[in-house]
């Protein structure tokens, strides 16, 4: 190999490829290093408490916020935790939204359960509600006189209350929609 060809090969190698006949080698391969691969990273999901929206009309913002994980979910849903865990629950958050005005009144309980994917969440929702539920907001929901319970993507979201009226059901819907919107960002 003469100097001109050797120099051209070295220049080509430093620019990213060495060409020999019809074979091109990446510079890392030319130096015996393994080829670089693109790192596949999954973005870390937002903490569930960050998904909780401000209080809907007539209600204060979230209070008594209690994040839970696979290790301590029993403290919150003792009897039902087995099926949640079996279906892949990763974490959960619980909060309350009190009615504004200071007087004892409606308090909405919000529960958000995250699963690794929509199929796992749908399986758990089916376990809880069998064939109940109707299409709602891109998912499925059971809407009743005491609130709303929905599966939206990889989340099961419940917003329920003990005392209230149709306005409280609307507030439950607003909480669930707010969580779903935060999760999609």
**pLDDT (tens digit, 9 = 90+) per residue, 118-142?**
999 999 999 999 889 999 999 999 9
For residue 147, the cross-strand partners are 144, 160
- The pTM for the full model equals 0.75
Query: Pairing relation of β-strands 107-114 and 134-136?
Result: unpaired
Mean pLDDT computed over 85-112: 89
Q: Where exactly are the structural domains of the chain?
A: 1-38, 48-184
The pLDDT assigned to 153 comes to 96
Closest CA to 178 of 108, 89, 105: 108
Closest CA to 112 of 43, 185, 181: 181
| pLDDT tens-digit map of 25-52 | 344 444 455 455 555 666 778 899 999 9
How many Cβ atoms from other residues are within 10 Å of residue 46's Cβ?
12
The matching CATH number, chosen from 3.40.1000, 2.60.40, 2.20.25, 3.30.110, for 48-184 is 3.40.1000
Residue 95 CB partners (closer than 8 Å, separation 6+): 49, 52, 62, 63, 64, 65, 66, 109, 110
pLDDT at 163 over 90: no
Contact 134, 145 (CB under 8 A): no
The pLDDT assigned to 17 comes to 39
For residue 114, the cross-strand partners are 91, 155
pLDDT at 151 over 60: yes
Confidence of residue 14 (pLDDT cuts 50, 70, 90): very low
pLDDT at 1 over 50: no
The pLDDT assigned to 136 comes to 95
Mean pLDDT computed over 19-29: 42
Closest CA to 114 of 60, 41, 40, 182: 182
- The whole-chain average pLDDT of the chain stands at 81
The pLDDT assigned to 162 comes to 82
For residue 146, the cross-strand partners are none
Residue 1 CA to chain centroid, in angstroms? 60
pLDDT at 24 over 50: no
Helix-then-strand count for the chain, H and E: 5, 9
The pLDDT assigned to 176 comes to 96
The pLDDT assigned to 42 comes to 66
In angstroms, the CA 170 to CA 61 distance is 16
pLDDT at 20 over 60: no
The pLDDT assigned to 78 comes to 73
């Amino acid at each position: 190999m003469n100097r001109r060809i050797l120099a051209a090969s070295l220049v080509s190698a430093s620019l990213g490829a060495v060409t020999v006949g019809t074979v091109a080698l990446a510079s890392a391969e030319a130096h015996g290093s393994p080829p670089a691969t693109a790192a596949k990273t999954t973005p870390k999901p937002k903490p569930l408490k960050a998904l909780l929206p401000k209080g809907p009309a007539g209600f204060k913002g979230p209070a008594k916020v209690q994040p839970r994980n696979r290790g301590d979910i029993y403290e919150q849903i003792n009897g039902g935790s087995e099926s949640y865990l079996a279906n892949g629950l990763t974490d959960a958050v619980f909060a309350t939204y009190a009615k504004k005005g200071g007087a004892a009144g409606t308090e909405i309980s919000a529960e958000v359960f995250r699963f690794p994917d929509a199929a796992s969440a749908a399986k758990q929702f089916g376990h809880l509600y069998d064939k109940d539920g109707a299409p709602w907001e891109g998912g499925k929901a059971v809407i009743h006189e005491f609130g709303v319970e929905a599966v939206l993507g990889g989340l099961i979201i419940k917003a329920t209350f003990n005392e209230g009226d149709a306005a409280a059901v609307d507030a439950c819907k607003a909480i669930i929609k707010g969580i779903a919107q935060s999760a999609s960002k």
